[in-house]
């Protein structure tokens, strides 16, 4: 069975063109959404995937109607394949049931993986450059080096405990323990 999915971004847009193309392609059921393609939680798409049975084919007018990002598009197609459901895009003439369509999606998958690797490399390079300039990422330390030294001196006394030092410095006991551990690991 051919199941259609149509989406427009705003209520001012019309689904007529997509619905006509899906009906002409032989879709007996058409699920619809009126929301941005960047929104991954789309009730019409979710229902189409849920209702699809092994052997069915989900048909869209164009790839961008299914997902705006390549990674989301691949994720949806993988969900479909896990259920034994094929995918077809009318405008791009992609049919995951054919060898050529499968090749295209493998290429898309490789491109998405490459894109994720590039993003990770750029992120790591940016963090390394920031560290080289003396900037550290993450949350600022709750205790200054002077406060850590004060905590060490106070805890050297047998009459003072970590709970008292933490209360005095207005931090948790765990914060005091972490600061002391960092100071001794240096």
Structural tokens at position 113: 């993986």
Beta bridge partners of 34: 8
Strands 29-34 and 86-89: unpaired
Which of these is catalytic: 9, 69, 71, 172? 9
- Given its phi and psi angles, is residue 68 left (phi above 0), alpha (psi -120 to 50 degrees) or beta? alpha
Q: Is 9 a catalytic residue?
A: yes
Give the C-alpha separation, 28 to 72, whole Å: 25
Active site residues: 9
């Amino acid at each position: 069975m051919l199941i259609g999915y149509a989406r427009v971004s705003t209520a001012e847009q019309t689904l007529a063109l997509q619905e006509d193309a899906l009906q002409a392609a032989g879709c007996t059921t058409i699920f619809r959404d009126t929301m941005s393609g960047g929104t991954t939680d789309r009730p019409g798409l979710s229902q189409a995937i849920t209702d699809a049975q092994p052997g069915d084919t989900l048909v869209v007018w164009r790839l961008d109607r299914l997902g705006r990002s390549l990674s989301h598009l691949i994720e949806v197609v993988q969900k479909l394949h896990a259920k034994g459901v094929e995918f077809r895009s009318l405008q791009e003439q992609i049919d995951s049931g054919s060898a050529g369509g499968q090749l295209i999606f493998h290429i898309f998958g490789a491109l998405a993986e490459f894109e994720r690797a590039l993003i990770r490399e750029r992120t790591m390079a940016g963090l390394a450059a920031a560290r080289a300039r003396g900037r550290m990422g993450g949350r600022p330390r709750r205790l200054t080096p002077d406060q850590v030294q004060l905590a060490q001196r106070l805890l050297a006394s047998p009459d003072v405990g970590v709970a008292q030092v933490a209360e005095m410095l207005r931090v948790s006991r765990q914060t005091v323990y972490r600061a002391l551990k960092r100071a001794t690991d240096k």
